[in-house]
């Protein structure tokens, strides 16, 4: 398909477009275009009502960034599609995309980190600081665990509670967490706080029921 340069003022957003991009991603898209001068061509069709204009099918955010960055024209591909086909495309083009495989994504980011500082990557990539940290950590070899420490590995516990019971537990966890921060050194997981709370409650219950065999 041939890429055409179309005046940005002639590109009209489709009223049914549902795709929204947050400010952080918009800022990264803007910096990417400003730095590299490359972007995926916008997909448009001849506007069904406004002569000489085009209706956007895909690329609403790119058009906005290009306009704000001072571009007068945008690279576009014109498709010949009906109203019904356009609606289908609007509903699918922003959704039908692959997902990154975490290990491969981690290796890609590791290569980038060799020539870019973390702050630079955060300005260019869609990941947050915490996501970038976790992905880069996947490149590190797994931590070796001594056989004698295997019994201390975390275990999963599942149980079901009502909404009211969950609120009670969450409230108790917050209170106990504050107590642990003031009386016990270090940071603690929710599981550790729950165990601390249960141990304390068990002590109080046994003390109050000394005559009962437990």
Report CA dihedral (114, 117, 123, 125) to the nearest 10 degrees. Answer: 20
**pLDDT for the residue numbered 152:** 63
Gap between the Cα atoms of 72 and 74, Å rounded = 7
Q: Report residues of the chain scoring pLDDT below 50.
A: 206, 210-214
Burial class of 58 by CB neighbour count within 10 A (0 to 12, 13 to 18, 19+): buried
- Quick one: pLDDT at residue 183? 63
Structural domain 4-92, CATH architecture: Alpha-Beta Complex (3.90)
- Residue 66 CB neighbour total at 10 angstroms: 22
Please state, in angstroms and rounded to a whole number, the distance separating the CA atoms of residues 148 and 194. 25
CB count in 10 Å sphere of residue 176: 19
Per-residue pLDDT of 44-72, as tens digits, reads 999 999 999 999 999 999 999 999 999 99
């Amino acid at each position: 398909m041939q890429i055409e340069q179309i005046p940005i003022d002639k590109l009209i957003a489709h009223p049914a477009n549902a795709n929204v991009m947050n400010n952080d991603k918009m800022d990264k898209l803007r910096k990417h275009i400003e730095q590299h001068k490359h972007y995926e061509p916008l997909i448009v069709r001849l506007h069904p009502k406004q002569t000489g204009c085009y209706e956007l099918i895909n690329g609403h955010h790119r058009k906005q960034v290009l306009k704000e960055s001072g571009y007068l024209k945008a690279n576009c591909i014109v498709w010949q599609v009906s109203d019904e086909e356009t609606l289908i495309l609007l509903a699918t083009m922003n959704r039908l995309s692959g997902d990154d495989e975490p290990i491969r994504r981690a290796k890609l980011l590791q290569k980038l980190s060799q020539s870019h500082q973390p702050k630079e990557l955060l300005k260019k990539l869609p990941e947050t600081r915490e996501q970038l940290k976790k992905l880069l950590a996947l490149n590190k070899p797994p931590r070796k665990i001594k056989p004698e420490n295997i019994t201390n590995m975390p275990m999963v516990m599942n149980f079901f509670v009502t909404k009211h019971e969950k609120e009670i537990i969450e409230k108790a966890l917050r209170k106990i967490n504050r107590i642990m921060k003031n009386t016990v050194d270090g940071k603690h997981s929710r599981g550790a706080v729950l165990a601390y709370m249960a141990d304390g409650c068990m002590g109080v219950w046994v003390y109050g029921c000394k005559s009962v065999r437990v």
